[in-house]
Amino acid sequence: MEALLVSLVTVAVAEMGDRTQLLSLVLAARYRQPWPILAGILFATLANHAAAGVLGVWFGKFLSPALLDGIVGAGMLAMALWTLKPDRLDEDAPLGRRGAFLATLVAFFVAEIGDKTQIATVALAAGYESLAAVVAGTTAGMLLANAPVVFLGKAFAERLPMALIHRAAAALFAVLGLVFLFRAAAS
């Protein structure tokens, strides 16, 4: 249960102002079909985060628990710093003439490659026993962060205190990083 909740909260907060959330806004404005867009986000995130989670579990098998906790902790501290740098979306990126679902599926999957939420998924899967709980939590976190943007669009996004949200996400990553580092030191 801890893995699910930590994964959900970490990704939901980290996703605020992220480029994939900005992509959700662009897709919502272009297609005005929230349900196919959310379905595309769901399936793209499941595929992307499942692959990231498998990679995290694989790396985790080669490391001692103390070393793994140290690496995950250091990675989370790096994520804290990365979160303080707001993402931007290249508005010239072509979305194609596909339907809302397929356009979202492809664009969201590609945009999530190398994104901080994908890297967080690798780290969380390496640090927790349950791959399913981590992937379910990170996917739910993505949907939790993106659904309001898809449904309420630009008016909602413009009213959020993004600088404060980025600092809160960075603080969350820093706290998680310190927890893992203390676990590593205690081992």
Domain extent listing, the chain: 2-186
Query: Tell me, what DSSP letter sits at residue 160?
Result: S
pLDDT at 74: 83
Question: Which of 148 and 93 is assigned the larger pLDDT?
Answer: 148
Residue 111: other Cβ atoms inside 10 A: 23
Rounded CA gap, 140 and 156, in Å? 20
For 62-93, what is each residue's pLDDT tens digit?
Answer: 878 788 778 777 877 877 787 677 655 455 44
Q: How confident is the model at residue 158 (pLDDT cuts 50, 70, 90)?
A: low
- pLDDT (0 to 100) of residue 98: 60
* pLDDT tens string 117-141: 888 899 899 888 899 999 999 999 9
Q: Using pLDDT thresholds of 50, 70 and 90, give the confidence band for residue 45.
A: very high
Q: Model's pTM, two decimal places? A: 0.74
Q: What percent of the chain has pLDDT over 90?
A: 30
Tell me what the pLDDT averaged over the chain comes to.
Answer: 82
Q: Contact at 8 Å (CB) between 170 and 80?
A: yes
Mean pLDDT lowest among 45-59, 80-94, 147-161: 80-94
pLDDT (mean) for 49-72: 85
Amino acid at 75: G
Report pLDDT for 22. Answer: 77
The end-to-end CA distance of the chain, in Å, is 23
Q: 168-181: buried (b, 16+ CB within 10 Å) or exposed (e) per residue?
A: ebbebbbebbebbb
Q: What is the pLDDT of residue 114?
A: 79
